[in-house]
Structure formats: structure tokens, C-alpha cells
């Protein structure tokens, strides 16, 4: 993975940061089996798992199987990450602010573990007890926009391209991981696309839409199924059609057989009869 391919060299030479060369993708997925699986997880673990937690686990699996997206650029060199880490966006101050909650090694965790970890991180952020986040917010309140633009660019470079930690500025090594996930479904939107965020320096931004019942063709028949639209904004320097195909295949497989993410070959008995 450390070897620079010609395709990657051309991609890096062609485009600048994500504000230029982006790929936008959309998948509308049958969520029938996922809903059954999440119901099973809630009953067996007591954890309030949601489709958002599940999608994060799926994206983590996809990144593990398509490692050309699980990395970062340091100037003109692609470097793979040692682990799959993903950030969720958390709304604060009644939607007036956003913070990130990063889950490390997400591809090695169960959906219930992800839910528990995110809940703890969100509680700490909303209670104002996350010291790193507070360090970044206080200076920004008094800085003019032109200075903020320079500061966030420098912080992104040092933290997300060089893996540096600067406690005084709240800069952490690779603080957004390899992907950012957010949801618009909670606001009643069926779908949406995340704008590229240059200072985050991640190749993948995923947006989860609203779950809704809709008609779809199954084995030549028209049926009503719960469907979820997931969209992605991808930095073209990291991915082309082949890698996109790997991502799509993994996501569809995980939605069809969600229990496979925890090493099960078949659905548990409690839901087996209802699985489609």
C-alpha cells in the first residue's frame, strides 16, 4: 500500500484539496434485515443501537476492505492508516455548533459497542467536559474570520497530514480519522450530500438519510420495504471506479446480512423466520 501507483500520482497531480476533484455517490438500500438485526441487538444487549451506529460499522468494514481510502496525503505522498477510525458529527447548543466524536478501530467493534462509546462521547461533549474541544472553541470566539481560515488550515495540515499533537491548540493526530459520518434523516430529509471539508483532510464524507417505506422490485414483484438512502462525497485523489465498486459491494452485503459483521454465518433464531 505504500507504493505510489501511476493512477494515484496522476490524481494527486490533477486536483488540489477536496474542494476540486470530488465523486458523489448514492445508494438506496433495503433496510428490512438491518431493522430486524438492530431489534435483536437491542433486546440482547440493552443498548439503544440505531441505524446511524450500524452505518458507521458498515463504513468501517468497507474501509478495511478498500484500504486505498483508509489513509491520508502528506504533500504528494499517500500513506495508509494503521487502523480504521471514523468520526461522527454531534450537534451541540441546540444545533448552533458541531463537534466530532471519533471511534477508533471501528471495524473491530460491535454495533452495540459503537453505540455505547458514542453515547459516552456525546454526553461528555454536551456537558462541556471535553477539554480538547474546549481548547479549540475559546480562541475561535474572538478571532476574525481571516485568521480562523489560516489557523484551521495549519491545524489540519499538522494534525491530519503529519499526525502532530499540539495541546495548546487542541490539535490531535488524525483527529477525524478516515471518514466523517453525519445524518440528515433526523431532520426529515430523505437524502443530502456533505460538502468537502478541506481542514478535516478526510477522503470520505457519508450522510445518512431518513428511513422510509417505499416500493421496490424484488424477484420481479413490486413490494413495500423500509429503505435508507446513504450518500457519499469522496476525494477523487483517493478513489476511482474500482474502489467505488468495492465499497458498494461491501455495503450491500452488510445490509443484506448484517449479522455477518459479528462473525455469524446465519441470522439468529429470534429473527430467522422474518429475514428476507
Higher pLDDT, 9 or 248: 248
Name the band, by pLDDT with cuts 50, 70 and 90, for residue 1.
Answer: very low
The SS3 assignment for 200 reads coil
Residues contacting 59, CB < 8 A, separation 6+: 86, 106, 179, 181, 204, 206, 251
E strand spans, 167-271: 179-183, 204-208, 212-218, 221-235
**Nearest CA-CA partner of 195 in 18, 61, 48, 41:** 18
Report whether pLDDT(128) > 80: yes
Instruction: Tell whether 252 is covered by a domain.
Output: yes
Higher pLDDT, 203 or 168: 203
Q: How far is CA 221 from CA 31, 217, 224, 276, in A?
A: 17, 5, 10, 14
Are 106 and 84 contacting, i.e. CB atoms less than 8 angstroms apart? yes
Residue 24 cell numbers, joined: 458523489
**Predicted local confidence at residue 152, as pLDDT:** 86
Lowest mean pLDDT of 20-24, 37-41, 222-226, name the range: 20-24
For 229-240, what is the mean pLDDT?
A: 90
Residue 117 cell numbers, joined: 462509546
Residue-wise over 167-194: b if at least 16 C-beta within 10 A, else e?
eebbbbebbbbbbbbbbbbeeeeebbeb
Instruction: Tell whether 228 is covered by a domain.
Output: yes
Report whether pLDDT(124) > 70: yes
Residue 22 cell numbers, joined: 470530488
Residues contacting 147, CB < 8 A, separation 6+: none
Residue count (the chain): 276
Report whether pLDDT(181) > 80: yes
Cα(63)–Cα(99) distance, rounded to whole angstroms?
Answer: 23
Q: How far is CA 111 from CA 64, 123, 139, 264, in A?
A: 16, 18, 36, 14
pLDDT tens readout for residues 137-178: 878 788 888 888 888 889 899 999 999 998 877 789 999 999
**Predicted local confidence at residue 3, as pLDDT:** 58
Name the band, by pLDDT with cuts 50, 70 and 90, for residue 222.
Answer: very high
Half-sphere CA count of 59, side-chain side, radius 13 A = 32
Are 33 and 258 contacting, i.e. CB atoms less than 8 angstroms apart? yes
Kindly report the average pLDDT of the chain as a whole number.
Answer: 89
Domain that holds residue 56: 6-272
Residues contacting 274, CB < 8 A, separation 6+: 36
Cα(262)–Cα(135) distance, rounded to whole angstroms?
Answer: 37
**Predicted local confidence at residue 169, as pLDDT:** 73
Instruction: Tell whether 1 is covered by a domain.
Output: no
Report whether pLDDT(84) > 60: yes
Q: How many domains does the chain have?
A: 1
Cα(196)–Cα(192) distance, rounded to whole angstroms?
Answer: 13
**Domain containing residue 37: CATH number:** 3.30.559.10
**Nearest CA-CA partner of 149 in 194, 196, 198, 195:** 198
Helices (H) and strands (E) in the chain, counts: 8, 9
Amino acid at each position: 500500500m505504500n507504493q505510489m501507483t501511476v493512477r494515484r500520482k496522476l490524481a494527486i497531480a490533477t486536483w488540489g484539496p477536496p474542494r476540486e476533484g470530488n465523486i458523489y455517490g448514492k445508494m438506496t438500500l433495503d433496510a428490512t434485515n438491518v431493522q430486524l438485526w438492530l431489534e435483536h441487538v437491542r433486546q440482547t444487549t440493552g443498548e439503544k443501537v440505531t441505524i446511524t451506529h450500524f452505518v458507521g460499522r458498515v463504513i468501517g468494514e468497507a474501509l478495511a476492505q478498500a484500504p486505498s481510502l483508509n489513509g491520508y496525503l502528506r504533500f504528494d505522498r499517500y500513506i495508509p492508516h494503521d487502523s480504521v477510525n471514523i468520526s461522527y458529527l454531534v450537534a451541540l447548543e441546540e444545533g448552533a455548533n458541531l463537534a466530532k466524536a471519533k471511534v477508533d478501530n471501528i471495524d473491530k467493534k460491535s454495533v452495540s459497542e459503537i453505540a455505547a462509546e458514542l453515547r459516552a462521547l456525546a454526553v461528555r461533549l454536551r456537558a462541556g467536559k471535553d477539554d480538547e474541544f474546549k481548547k479549540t472553541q475559546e480562541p475561535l470566539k474572538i478571532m476574525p474570520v481571516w485568521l480562523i481560515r489560516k489557523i484551521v488550515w495549519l491545524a489540519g495540515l499538522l494534525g491530519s497530514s503529519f499526525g502532530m499533537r499540539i495541546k495548546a491548540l487542541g490539535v490531535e493526530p488524525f483527529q477525524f480519522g478516515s471518514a466523517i459520518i453525519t445524518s440528515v434523516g433526523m431532520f426529515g430529509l430523505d437524502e443530502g450530500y456533505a460538502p468537502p471539508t478541506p481542514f478535516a483532510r478526510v477522503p470520505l464524507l457519508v450522510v445518512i438519510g431518513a428511513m422510509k417505506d417505499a416500493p421496490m422490485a424484488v424477484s420481479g414483484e413490486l413490494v413495500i420495504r423500509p429503505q435508507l438512502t446513504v450518500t457519499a462525497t469522496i476525494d477523487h485523489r483517493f478513489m476511482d471506479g474500482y474502489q467505488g465498486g468495492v465499497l458498494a459491494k461491501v455495503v450491500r452485503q452488510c445490509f443484506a446480512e448484517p449479522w455477518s459483521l459479528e462473525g455469524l454465518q446465519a441470522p439468529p433464531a429470534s429473527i430467522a423466520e422474518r429475514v428476507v
